[in-house]
Amino acid sequence: MVTAKLSTPIIQCNTKYSYGRKNNIHIGLLFTAYDLVHLQYVSTRLIINLLNHIKMINLEKTLRVQTSSYKNKNMLRYIKKQLSSLGASYEQDKHGNIYATKGEADTYVCAVAHTDTVHKLVPKANFKIYTDKNILFSVDTRTYKRCGIGGDDKVGVYVALHIMSQMDAFKCAFFVDEEVGCVGSSHADVKFFDDVILCVQADRKGVREITSSINGTEMYSDAFGTSIAHIIKTHNFIEVNGGTTDVGELGDKLLSIPMFNVACGYYLPHSSDEYVNTIDVDDTIAFLRDVIDFVIATPPTDTWTRPEYSYGNTMYGGWDAWDYGGYGKSIKKSSKNKFKRKSFDNYNWDDKRACWVDKKEKDDKTSCQVCNGSMVDTYQGDAWCRECGSWQQTI
């Protein structure tokens, strides 16, 4: 019993059995003012459990909000309510994006998240979340089939709000309709990021991965990567090339701000079997907190400019790391919309090869040294093979 050291027992429980004839259970619940000021006697474990419980409720509460592309209303309302309770001020643009600031500082770290999911809305009374140990999943009680909990990216919304609740000064941006081509973030108000020194996003399946590049474009400088390498190592994270998400979109506009996306504990996204692992969500928050605290204490000093289109082996070598790789049936449906933006500057999106290609690119008649397939002259002296996908120096 936790009450041993308290002057008055919180819970007193006596059970008397006399051969099944008589069961007397006396439960006395007594809370005196004296006990309240002596709460230090209650084991710290109890308090930690209680805090964890509250945290769990908030994650679950966030996951309970149903939201879908072009139907972000519930989530936007929920976010605004949470921001008010955190004492943050916010603005909403005509697209629905929310920009929030808490506290006053010269510079801020900003967490971003997207407010839509790919899942259809289920009547509220039928959308039930179940818990098995540290796993959360959802069921549509009209059919009792799993219906996709929407951790992508409700976990990101939760992570952003949760970190904001812990910080004195912090910024958050919530973008609508990421799943249909980064609609919200492509209209982002760049002024909001004037005093931002780092942008983080939690919008990737799995755990313990940080995207040093997105679709082959560097997300932060080598110097920045080196400066946080000890945190990456301590938390057992690995650097990967990630797929399309809001920070990738923002990266095209905010060229000097380091940014990254992290895996955040949702699994099988874009499928009705999607689930969330709360331990992985906590690991994500712990990692982000360490990076954020480090960057606030030691702001990046290098004047780095993100290459407009950086290209490296990671773009193709890391194709497996593409955000919706392995999503199953829903891939085709969503990837069609995913690349609404068909070109930028000197590059066109090639659907067939699923990559950006130089507009000036022309078929090269030389053949691949690996498989003898036909080569494409792609980028600054490097060629790409249509058949086996390998890169080679143009002869």
Nearer to Zn ion, 203 or 252 (CB): 203
| Token pair listed for 207 | 């755990």
Does residue 152 bind Zn ion (CB under 5 A)? yes
Nearer to Zn ion, 100 or 155 (CB): 155
Distances (CA, A) of 279 to 12, 64, 201, 293: 34, 18, 18, 21
Write the DSSP assignment of 277-291 as a string of letters.
Answer: EHHHHHHHHHHHHHH
Does residue 280 bind Zn ion (CB under 5 A)? no
| Cα gap 131→72, rounded to integer Å | 25
Least separation in angstroms between CB 204 and Zn ion: 8
Q: Which of the ranges 135-143, 146-154, 288-296, 306-314 carries the binding residues for Zn ion, by CB under 5 A?
A: 146-154
Does residue 177 bind Zn ion (CB under 5 A)? no
Least separation in angstroms between CB 328 and Zn ion: 13
Widest distance between CA atoms in the chain: 95
Least separation in angstroms between CB 193 and Zn ion: 20
Percentages of the chain per state (helix, strand, coil), in multiples of 5: 30, 30, 40
Least separation in angstroms between CB 350 and Zn ion: 22
- What residue type is assigned to position 298 of the chain? T
Does residue 203 bind Zn ion (CB under 5 A)? yes
Distances (CA, A) of 250 to 16, 92, 160, 173: 67, 17, 17, 11
**Cβ-contact 237, 211 below 8 angstroms:** no
Nearer to Zn ion, 62 or 227 (CB): 62
Q: Which of the ranges 42-50, 71-79, 147-155, 162-170 carries the binding residues for Zn ion, by CB under 5 A?
A: 147-155
Nearer to Zn ion, 129 or 331 (CB): 331
Least separation in angstroms between CB 156 and Zn ion: 7
Does residue 274 bind Zn ion (CB under 5 A)? no
Strand 89-92 vs strand 98-102: parallel, antiparallel, or unpaired?
antiparallel
Nearer to Zn ion, 140 or 153 (CB): 153
Nearer to Zn ion, 182 or 295 (CB): 182
Does residue 153 bind Zn ion (CB under 5 A)? yes
Total chain residues near Zn ion (CB under 5 A): 3
Strand 238-242 vs strand 209-214: parallel, antiparallel, or unpaired?
parallel
Does residue 140 bind Zn ion (CB under 5 A)? no
- Residue closest to 4 by CA, chosen among 28, 16, 50, 12: 12
Nearer to Zn ion, 184 or 216 (CB): 184
Q: Which of the ranges 152-160, 215-223, 257-265, 354-362 carries the binding residues for Zn ion, by CB under 5 A?
A: 152-160
Least separation in angstroms between CB 323 and Zn ion: 6
Least separation in angstroms between CB 270 and Zn ion: 6
| 3-class DSSP state of 361 | coil
What values do phi and psi take at 213, rounded to 5?
-140, 155
Least separation in angstroms between CB 383 and Zn ion: 32
> Virtual CA dihedral for 174, 157, 242, 342, nearest 10 degrees?
-40
Instruction: Catalog residues that contact Zn ion under the rule CB under 5 A.
Output: 152-153, 203
